[in-house]
Every structure is written in C-alpha cells, then in structure tokens.
Structure 1
C-alpha cells in the first residue's frame, strides 16, 4: 500500500491537471472576495460569511470527479493498472490507494480555497468579514464529509469503467445530476412551516410569500395579509426522506455549507454515520466489481 501511494503522489506532482485545478481554486477564492469588496462598495448587505468562504463546495465535487476519471483512466490506458497487479499488489490495495489519492486531491482543493479566501478576504475586505461566519467548525466538518462521499463515488465509477473518456463523462454527468437532486432535497427541507398569504381584492387572487421582505406591497391598504400553513412544507415520511437525503448526499451537504444561519442544518451524528455507511457500501461494491474485471 505504501509503495502504491508513493507512486500515486509522484504522479500527482507531475500532473498538470492537478496543478491547474489548484490554481483555478485559488483564483476563484481571490475572485469571490474581490466581488464581495465591490458589492460592499455598492451598498450590499453582508450578513452571511459562509456563502463566500464555502461556496467552492458547490463545484469541488465536480472537479474531483473529473480528476478521478482522468487520473485512474490513464492507469488503465497506459497499462499502469495491469503492471501494478502483475508485480503482486492486491486489487483491494490498488483500489484503496486510488481512493486515498483522490480524497487528498479534494482536500487539497478545499484547503487552497480556504487559504486564498482568508488571504484575499483580509486584504481586500478586512478582518470583520470573519465575524460573519456561522458555526465554521460544524461547516468544515460537513464539508469534509461531503468530500469523502464525493471521492468514493468518483473512484467507484473510475475503477469499474476502463475507458477513460466514458469514466470522465459519466463522473461529470452524475455529479451534476446529484447536484440537482441535492438542491431539490435541500430546498424541500428549508421550506418554512408557516408563510404569509396575500389576498388581492381586485383580482380575487391569493399569493403566498416565502420570503421575509414584503415591504414593497405594505403601502396598499386593500391587500389583506395573513399567516397560514405553508402548502409546500414537507411532513411525515416525506420530510424524513428529504432530511435523510440532505444529510447523506454529498451535493446536499456541500450546498448546505453556504446557506444562511436561519436554514443551517446542524452537524449531527447522523451525518457521520450516514456518510460512513454510504462510503462503506459503495467502496465494498466497487472493490467487488473491480476484482472481477479482466485486464489481460
């Protein structure tokens, strides 16, 4: 295992894609706080530091999936995978070594963005920007769990699909699909139980208000506003399902890192147990499939 990891990290040091992703993440961190500086200059109300410090989580899953497909796919195409097995390395060790390597790449992107954000945020905006962070330790923990599951999924696809182009394409498409599913699940969980409903006498129509800001219509005395039960609020088994998906799905975890304090999903043991369960099942399944692949 140690020799496999040494070989993988030696390849990382020479990988142009790896350094390109690291540079891209760093520049994105600087750009995010440069835009914050412009927004503040234009009167933007800054009240959620998590949106900026953790917005990289939205796309790190996709970049990790892309890297995994290229990195592992190259081992198949140039015969490296076959050579590793022919010299006596077990398939389990090969699989786990690649998983550790891909997870390291995900962590490296996360750390580089955080460092870029702290540097650019302090220099461009000032130290006060960090006072707007909400539960940063919990958010970092959720971020790490998201990176674990994203890496597990990416390596599973890359290890069981020999053709590099197909593995990369499927990895990226699945990451985008999971992002859509995660956003939908998170949106469902975030729905408030009670909302304001307006009645317009002229048109005899009702309109539900899902945000706090309704000042623009309060001047009209003819409009009747009442607080009612939200028809979109999830209840019972459906809500439990959405909460489970939001806690386990890596894209939902990633998106939850940047939401406001009112909708923040607290870190819990279920996050850890769910991530470990999904990771164990997918990794075990991937190893079983990989052991059946004929590389001769």
Structure 2
C-alpha cells in the first residue's frame, strides 16, 4: 500500500486539479484576510482572528467551501485513474482492491487536510500581526479544528466512494457537486428554521390605529422535530462546516462521532461494492 500511496502523491505533484485546488486555497486565504481588514477599517470594529481562522471550514456560515473543493478534487483526481486505465493496470500487476480503495481514500483525506492547513498557516502568519491573537481558549480552538478536519475526512470518504463505484469522471464530478450543494442548502434551510423565535409580533389596524400583538410563531420548530433538524445539521459534513465557520455549533463533542460514523460506513460500503465491480 505504501507504493500506491507514494505513486498517488507523485502524481499529485504534476496533477493540474491539485495545483488549481492549492492555488484556490491560497487565494481564498488572502481574500479572507483582505476582506476582514477592509471591513475592520470601514466599520471601525475589531475583527477577531478566530472568525477568519474558522472560515477555513466555510464562508462565515453561508457556504460549505471545503465540501465544494473536495467534491471537485476527489472526483477528478481519482476519476482520472479510470479514464486513463491506471486502475486496471494496478489490478493487473497484483494490487488488491482493498489496498487500492483505501489508498485513494487516504490520498483524498490527506490532500483535504493539506489544503486546509495551508489556509490556516497563511491566515495565522499574515492575520495575527494585523488582527491580534486568538480570543478563543486553546482547548475550544483545538476542538473546533478537530471537528473541521474530521468533516473534511468525511467528505473525502463520501466522494472517494462515489468515484470508485461509478468510475465515470464526468458523472462523478457532477454528482459530487450536486450532493454537496444539496446538503449545504438543506442544512442552511434547517438552521434558519431553528433560528425562528417561538413568539412573533403581529401588526394590526384597530380603529385607524396600528397596534401590535405577540402571538405564537406558526413556523417555530419545537419538540422532537427540533431535535431531528439539529441532528441532521450536526451529522452532515456540510452542516458541520456551516456551523463551524459561523461559530454556531452547539454539539462540538458529538460532531466528531458523527464524522467517524460516516467515514467508517462509507469506506466499508464502498470497499464492498468496489470489490465486486467489473473494472473496464
């Protein structure tokens, strides 16, 4: 398996998708710092470095950016092995399917972590002199980073599974992007539903005068449905990314467990199907 991993990393040095992903990460880090500095100057407010740091896992709670990057990178990098015949050659020379599958998963996961670390390093080196040190406690910051990294690994497990099963690079890229976008919009919608207040003010006209009345919010999510919504947000990597980047996560200690479940289940299911698949 070591030879397969070394071969993948050697290919990454020349791979255009890897270079574009790395360049995008660097530009995103620089733009985040510039935007934060400009906002601080215009609004005359102090922006903590913590918020810029956590944007590595998403764009301020609005876009699960790591998922989009991982969807494109994993699908195209692994998909190339099928389109170029590399996958078939690996099997011909005697590599076991489980080794090939797990090596590709490790390649995607380590690449995602590397891209993220590049962002974190740039924001720390450039941002700390401009915005000051971290305000979050060290333990909390490490827990947030652990959650974010595991979410990225969960993304890698999902997209590697899709690519290894479907084989067609174009279909994999489209399906991976659709998956991450759909899950992101779903989690964003559920988060907005949970933010709704239990009571709202209603304006009425009485005898020509405007009056207000506080009434129950019909759209308010309560009871078991509220727990279900929160579970979906906490479980999906996109929901984790949105919460981490928006600093709104409420179950930081549970999210790593959910990511671990996704990683184990998708890898086991993917290996099972790939082991029985006819490689063209």
TM-score of the pair, normalised by structure 2? 0.87
Count, aligned residues: 273
Where does residue 265 of structure 1 map in the other structure? Answer: 250
1:106-142 alpha-carbon deviations (Å, 9 max, x no partner): 101111111111122134x3315x3278932222122
Matched, 1:19 2:19: yes
Where does residue 274 of structure 2 map in the other structure? Answer: 290
The verdict on how the C-alpha distance between 1:277 and 1:203 changes in structure 2, with shifts beyond 3 A counting, is farther
**Distance in structure 1 (CA, Å) of the matches to 2:124 and 2:199:** 37
**Distance in structure 2 (CA, Å) of the matches to 1:203 and 1:291:** 76
The verdict on how the C-alpha distance between 1:82 and 1:116 changes in structure 2, with shifts beyond 3 A counting, is same
Where does residue 239 of structure 1 map in the other structure? Answer: 226
3-state SS of paired residue (2:135): helix
Tell me how far 1:47 sits from its aligned partner: 5.7
3-state SS of paired residue (2:246): coil
**Distance in structure 1 (CA, Å) of the matches to 2:164 and 2:89:** 15
3-state SS of paired residue (1:197): strand
1:210-249 alpha-carbon deviations (Å, 9 max, x no partner): xxxxxxxxxxx966475x6544332222112112111110
Tell me how far 1:189 sits from its aligned partner: 3.5
**Which deviates further from its counterpart, 103-112 or 233-242?**
233-242
**Distance in structure 2 (CA, Å) of the matches to 1:282 and 1:189:** 29
3-state SS of paired residue (2:203): strand
RMSD in angstroms over aligned alpha carbons? 2.6
**Which deviates further from its counterpart, 98-107 or 235-244?**
235-244
1:69/1:171 contact within 8 Å kept = yes
Q: 2:163 aligns with which of 135, 138, 158?
A: 158
Q: 1:98 aligns with which of 104, 127, 141?
A: 104
2:148/2:244 contact within 8 Å kept = yes
1:1-296 pair list within 5 angstroms = 1-43=1-43, 45-46=45-46, 49-57=49-57, 58-123=64-129, 125-127=130-132, 130-131=134-135, 135-192=140-197, 194-195=198-199, 197=201, 199-201=203-205, 224=212, 226=214, 229-260=216-247, 263-268=248-253, 270-296=254-280
**Distance in structure 1 (CA, Å) of the matches to 2:211 and 2:50:** 36
3-state SS of paired residue (1:234): coil
Structure 1 runs not aligned, ≥5 long: 205-220
TM-score of the pair, normalised by structure 1? 0.83
**Distance in structure 2 (CA, Å) of the matches to 1:69 and 1:189:** 33
Q: Which runs of 4+ in 1 moved over 6 A?
A: none
Structure 2 runs not aligned, ≥5 long: 58-63
The verdict on how the C-alpha distance between 1:255 and 1:3 changes in structure 2, with shifts beyond 3 A counting, is same
